[in-house]
Copies of this chain bind each other. A is one copy, B any other.
Amino acid sequence: DFLEAINEVKPAFGASTGDLERCRLNGMVDCGVRHEHIKQRTMLLAEQVKLSKGSPLLTCLLEGPSSSGKTAMAATVGICSDFPYVKIVSAESMIGLGESTKCAHIVKVFEDAYRSPLSIIILDDIERLVEYVAIGPRFSNIISQTLMVLLKRLPPLGKKLLVIGTTSEVGFLDSIGIRDTFSVTYNVPTLKTEDARKVLQQLNVFSEDDIDSAAEALDDMPIKKVYMLIEMAAQGEHGGKSEAIYSGKEKIDISHFYDCLQDIVRY
């Protein structure tokens, strides 16, 4: 029935294929040289897989703290490559499915890729795919084993495949041996003060005087939290200010900005 399951699997709870743009909801800004370098290298792997004769399969892991922009980067590579088959495998499209149905779903994506001459598969949030939880720890061994085998199984003759994984639990992936099955691993970091300054300049919501101290306060924060925090601060203490700020008429009040920052980092 596993075999049947494979053929019957249809995307549930929203289609995951083609959702790459959804992963970059706010567009992409320049997040500094380290983000840029990793993107370049991952693009090169796509080219290697396309041209090489000896490497029909390459696998690359993007790891880093929560919200640091891993998924957005993987989606960007997927979009910028001109590969005919690019698919994202995400826990979001498999909510509530049993372990073996999830396996069937994942295998199906690989089987589909094997039919295309050039493919990219994004395994998004691998710890979520394997249902990892730190207590225990617990995770689905069935899904883990499936991933470990798929990450080493060569595509059929003449087909090429690049797999990009993302995770914020690289230590766990290491301990179950999944990290080892990737050819290369890159670390997608949080923003340093200079990265944050660059981002704030592009967003243009602080007055010139405040931008340096704001950037300093954001040191070591992941990009997604930076966006969320700025939205909170843009509302103003009593709400209703955000339109004025995004349209450039007003700037964010720096002391209210610090207040919001506390709500987020207190814990």
Q: Which residues of A are at the interface with B, using a C-beta cutoff of 8 A?
A: 2-3, 6, 12-14, 22, 25-26, 41, 44, 47-48, 51-52, 54-55, 66, 91-92, 95-98, 100, 103-104, 107, 111, 128, 131, 133-135, 137-139, 141-142, 144-146, 148-150, 152-154, 156, 175-177, 179-180, 183-186, 227-228, 231-232, 235, 239-240, 242-243, 263-264, 266-267
Q: Are A176 and B133 in contact (CB under 8 A)?
A: yes
Question: How many of these chains are in the complex?
Answer: 6
Q: Are A55 and B228 in contact (CB under 8 A)?
A: yes
Given A91-B149, A96-B103, A154-B22, decide whether A66 and B235 contact each other with a Cβ distance below 8 A.
Answer: no
Residue numbers in B under 8 Å from A175 (CB-CB): 134-135
Contact of A96 among B2, B131, B184 (CB under 8 A): B2
Q: Are B176 and A135 in contact (CB under 8 A)?
A: yes
Q: Are A91 and B145 in contact (CB under 8 A)?
A: yes
Q: Are A26 and B2 in contact (CB under 8 A)?
A: no
Q: Are B100 and A128 in contact (CB under 8 A)?
A: no
Please list 7 pairs of residues, one from A and one from B, whose beta carbons are closer than 8 Å in the complex, sorted by A's number. A25-B154, A41-B263, A44-B239, A47-B235, A96-B104, A131-B141, A133-B177
Q: Are A95 and B150 in contact (CB under 8 A)?
A: yes
Since A22-B154, A91-B149, A96-B107 are in contact, a sample of 17 more A-B pairs with Cβ atoms closer than 8 Å, ordered by chain A residue number, is A2-B97, A13-B107, A41-B263, A44-B232, A48-B235, A48-B242, A52-B242, A92-B153, A98-B100, A128-B148, A128-B149, A131-B141, A131-B145, A133-B141, A134-B175, A135-B175, A183-B228
Report A135 CB to chain B, min CB distance, Å.
5
Q: Are A54 and B227 in contact (CB under 8 A)?
A: yes
Residue numbers in B under 8 Å from A150 (CB-CB): 95
For the complex of A and B, list the 5 residue pairs with the smallest distance between their C-beta atoms, beginning with the closest: A47-B239, A133-B176, A2-B96, A92-B153, A91-B149
Q: Are A51 and B107 in contact (CB under 8 A)?
A: no
Given A134-B177, A141-B133, A239-B47, decide whether A96 and B100 contact each other with a Cβ distance below 8 A.
Answer: yes
Contact of A231 among B25, B54, B242, B266 (CB under 8 A): B54
CA gap between A243 and B175 in the complex, in Å: 38
Query: Across the two chains, which residue of chain B brings its CB closest to A5?
Result: B96
